[in-house]
Structure 1
Amino acid sequence: MATSRSGTRVAGVAGRALAYLESAKNLTGSAAALGGLALTFAGFAGTYWPVVVAGLYGAGALIAPPTRPPAPDFPDDPSSQLSSLRADLTTLREYLDQVDLPPAATKRIGALTKLLDGLLEPGWVSQALAQDPEGVHVLARAVHRDLPESVDAFVRTRWWTRMAPGQQDPEEQLERQLSVLQREVEALVAGLREAEEIRQQSHTRYLEDR
């Protein structure tokens, strides 16, 4: 086991050393050092040539641009995000089916997920949604964080309330949260509908003016 760890450390050191040899800092410093050797052979460095060569190498290494690892390439195409959201909504449904919720909350969650299904359905609706990055963000936030957090917080709070009753009813809090989420998604639907109405009206004016 100790031999394995030692071998791993040696390999890591060797890898870092090889990476430095190939780095811009080492290549620039080496080029500057070669210039120092050229000065030495030309008779300009004198007996201090090792200091001159080392100094030029250090100066070259300092002015070289630092090694920059490539930034992660996350998909920013809204259509790709919507495809991922459809799969995530299916996972969220499976989670919600396992949770024991009050009838009123179950009904409201059903209405909310129905809205989400309609918006994410492949076709012209999701294509219209893909043109609204803020709308895609609203849906992603609802699916990934807001809805699961509301339900999970209710389950945890309800257990504590049964152990020691508190001043607030966890069912009431859940109802309020779901109501806010539903209004938010309904506002998104209304915004998309309004955009289509404006488009239709613009086409009407175009035809009338023509």
Structure 2
Amino acid sequence: MATSRGAGRALGCLESRKNITGSACGLVGLVLTFTGVAGPYWPVVVVGLYGAGALIAPPERPALPDFPDPSAQLDEVRQDFERLRGYLAEVGLPPTAAERAGRLEEVLTALLDPGRAAELLAQDPEGLHVLARAVRQDIPEAVDAYARTRWWTRLTPGQRPPEEHLERQLSLLDEEVRRLADTLRDAEARRQESHTRYLEDRSQ
């Protein structure tokens, strides 16, 4: 293992920009030696040119991190959404909250369904972030807080029912997700209008 790492580092040094540039300059020194320009000091000339080349070579640029592309991220959110739907089915929400959660699920299903909406989301990092946050954080936290709070409400009656908070939270999330859907729809509408203007201008 240590030998392979050492060999990898040695190969990396050989392939580095500094070594390549220094070697090219060193070859110039050898040419000067063979033509008699360097004279008896040719080793100093060759080494000096190699060192100068290594110094002027541009620094190595580290490789970019290999992050998943937007399509892969969308696939991950789609898988997480399926897990979220299973969780919501097990919680046992009160009727009004269940109805609002169902409406929210419908919009999320439409946005995550492979098709044009998914293509637009793959090109919209902010929209993808909003969707992923709703699926992975906002909805699970809202439902989990309700599930934990309703147990305490049985011990301390007279408090504000936890389902009111849940219903309000689901309504706000539904509005946020629908705004995202409206934004994607408007983007498609602008694209269609632009194409119409392009055809109109071309026909003149």
Q: Same fold (TM over 0.5)?
A: yes
Task: Quote the Cα distance in structure 1 between the aligned partners of 2:160 and 2:31.
Answer: 82
Residue in 1 aligned with 2:119? Answer: 130
| Residue of 26, 32, 47 corresponding to 1:54 | 47
Q: Which amino acid aligns with 1:185?
A: V
Task: Quote the Cα distance in structure 2 between the aligned partners of 1:173 and 1:50.
Answer: 82
Q: Matched residues, percent identical?
A: 49
Residue in 2 aligned with 1:110? Answer: 102
Write out per-residue CA displacement over residues 146-178 of structure 1, whole angstroms, 9 at most, x where no aligned residue: 3234445x279749x78xx9x998655544432
Q: Which amino acid aligns with 2:116?
A: Q
Task: Quote the Cα distance in structure 2 between the aligned partners of 1:169 and 1:33.
Answer: 81
Task: Quote the Cα distance in structure 2 between the aligned partners of 1:138 and 1:194.
Answer: 17
| Residue of 4, 26, 37 corresponding to 2:30 | 37
How has the CA–CA distance of structure 1 residues 45 and 193 changed in structure 2, closer, same or farther, with 3 Å as cutoff? same
1:17 is displaced (CA, Å) by: 0.6
TM-score (norm 2): 0.63
On the 8 A contact 2:111/2:117 being kept in 1, the answer is: no
Gaps of 5+ in 1: 1-7, 204-210
Write out per-residue CA displacement over residues 63-96 of structure 1, whole angstroms, 9 at most, x where no aligned residue: 334254255364345xx66555433321221233
Task: Quote the Cα distance in structure 2 between the aligned partners of 1:196 and 1:22.
Answer: 48
Task: Quote the Cα distance in structure 2 between the aligned partners of 1:36 and 1:196.
Answer: 63
The reply to whether residue 75 of structure 1 matches residue 69 of structure 2 is yes
Residue in 2 aligned with 1:14? Answer: 7
Q: How does 1:76-95 map to 2 (within 5 A)?
A: 76=70, 83-95=75-87
TM-score (norm 1): 0.62
Q: Which amino acid aligns with 1:144?
A: R
Task: Quote the Cα distance in structure 1 between the aligned partners of 2:74 and 2:120.
Answer: 11
Q: Which amino acid aligns with 1:115?
A: V
1:16 is displaced (CA, Å) by: 0.7
Task: Quote the Cα distance in structure 1 between the aligned partners of 2:140 and 2:52.
Answer: 56
Write out per-residue CA displacement over residues 94-146 of structure 1, whole angstroms, 9 at most, x where no aligned residue: 23344465655444322211221233344xxx425634635454323322333
Task: Quote the Cα distance in structure 1 between the aligned partners of 2:96 and 2:88.
Answer: 14
On the 8 A contact 1:129/1:192 being kept in 2, the answer is: no
Residue in 2 aligned with 1:5? Answer: none
The reply to whether residue 182 of structure 1 matches residue 174 of structure 2 is yes
How has the CA–CA distance of structure 1 residues 29 and 89 changed in structure 2, closer, same or farther, with 3 Å as cutoff? same
The reply to whether residue 119 of structure 1 matches residue 111 of structure 2 is yes
How has the CA–CA distance of structure 1 residues 57 and 127 changed in structure 2, closer, same or farther, with 3 Å as cutoff? same
Q: Which amino acid aligns with 2:63?
A: P
* Count of aligned pairs: 185
Q: CA RMSD in A?
A: 4.2
On the 8 A contact 2:38/2:45 being kept in 1, the answer is: no
SS of the residue corresponding to residue 69 of structure 1 reads coil
SS of the residue corresponding to residue 137 of structure 2 reads helix
Residue in 2 aligned with 1:142? Answer: 134
Residue in 2 aligned with 1:4? Answer: none
Task: Quote the Cα distance in structure 2 between the aligned partners of 1:142 and 1:34.
Answer: 61
1:184 is displaced (CA, Å) by: 1.0
